[in-house]
Amino acid sequence: MKLLIDAGNTRIKWALADGQTWLRSGTLPVEQARELPQQLAGLQDIRQAWVSNVAGEEVAQHIRDACVSAQPCFIAAREAQCGVRNGYSSPAQLGSDRWAALIAAWHLVHGTCLVVNSGTATTVDALSAKGEFIGGLILPGVELMQRSLRGTAAQLQAAQAGEYAPFPLNTADALYSGALQASCGAIERQYALLGESGAPVVLSGGAALVLRDSLNVPLRIVDNLVLQGLWLIAQETDA
């Protein structure tokens, strides 16, 4: 049994895999990370634990406390792994979540694509036809953009959640539509720069469904892209 853990900025996701089969999965907010040992306490026969952690050392310690039957392996980006080559100027500085997502996307597409993970932050990463990571963007996620403006601009305190409108006529809709358009604009601009008509955008993360209906690019929506990348890394290590 392999335990896979994706500790992001907002949520911790986990899955229990046996060979090709995913048996159980769960999630909890990062601020409740101390509850992870209790959530995983009933899992049996865990031989390996593979972790992507971008949530800091305190969360890492809670993960260690939860993995009592297997020493967790915290992954880091490499120069090359699972068929993907890392073009980052300092390969190890690429976030482990982005690296795992790139690996998962490559094994799904085996060709040129954009890999978009949309959560607290939105990352927009490009893969070449040869599996080379050629660079990417990091920008605030849809919700974070709105929170940032509400927290710093006194006259942008929307009293309610907004909805998308092409030309918004109230503050709540203006905040939401602006954040959505900015995110979609970044994705579509990178897609144009990629220059591969028909290449898919592999879209994952908590805001994937929010972005889906506003993007004018070929989409492939995939749940738990980081966990799938962790599984592939674990499989290659066992080979």
Active site residues: 97
Q: Can you list the pairs that 207-212 forms with residues at least 24 positions away whose Cβ atoms lie under 8 Å?
A: 207/118, 207/119, 207/122, 207/141, 207/142, 207/143, 207/183, 208/118, 210/118, 210/142, 210/180, 211/116, 211/118, 211/142, 211/180, 211/183, 211/184, 211/187
Q: Identify which of 20, 235, 228, 233 has the alpha carbon closest to the alpha carbon of residue 115.
A: 228
Phi-psi region of 224 (alpha: psi -120 to 50; beta: other; left: phi over 0): left
Tokens 């972005």 belong to residue: 211
